[in-house]
Amino acid sequence: MKILIVEDNEALAQTAGWIIEMLGYDYRISLTPKAALADGEDYRPDVVMMDIGLPGMSGYDLCREMRAKPIHADAVFVAQTGWDEREHREQSAQAGFAHHLTKPVDLQTLENVLNTIAGEMHVRN
């Protein structure tokens, strides 16, 4: 399973990447919304883990823009943010995120979400 990490904090992005790799999945990091749009076209991720508070474009808007592209029709979007209020969870769902994880993300929670997505992908294919 290929996972695109969209996170403007490079240290957090790399740490998430190492964890994802440890769980047996492939990853690529995009540090800006512009990079995420380009990388999404090239990498064709199965999962997009995205921060909401990005520079220049919110994660909500970026999720909507990426989801509108046919290439991402089957991708699963996961919000990974420090914002955990109900309104943020509702905005995440409205933008097209399937999951909303709060930073710092618990390793077991991340593993459960990714394994669930992988299982659902296996059933679809």
| pLDDT digit string, tens, across residues 17-36 | 999 999 999 999 999 999 99
Looking at the 3D structure of the chain, how many domains does it have?
1
Number of helices (H), then strands (E), in the chain = 5, 5
Q: Give the domain CATH number at 100.
A: 3.40.50.2300
Angle between helices 59-67 and 33-43 (to 10 degrees): 30
Please report which helix (H) or strand (E) contains residue 100, including its range. Answer: strand 99-102
| pLDDT digit string, tens, across residues 74-103 | 999 999 988 788 999 999 999 999 999 998
User: Which among 32, 27, 31 is positioned nearest to 16, based on CA atoms?
Assistant: 27
CB count in 10 Å sphere of residue 97: 25
Domain extent at residue 32? 2-124
Q: What percentage of the chain reaches a pLDDT higher than 70?
A: 98
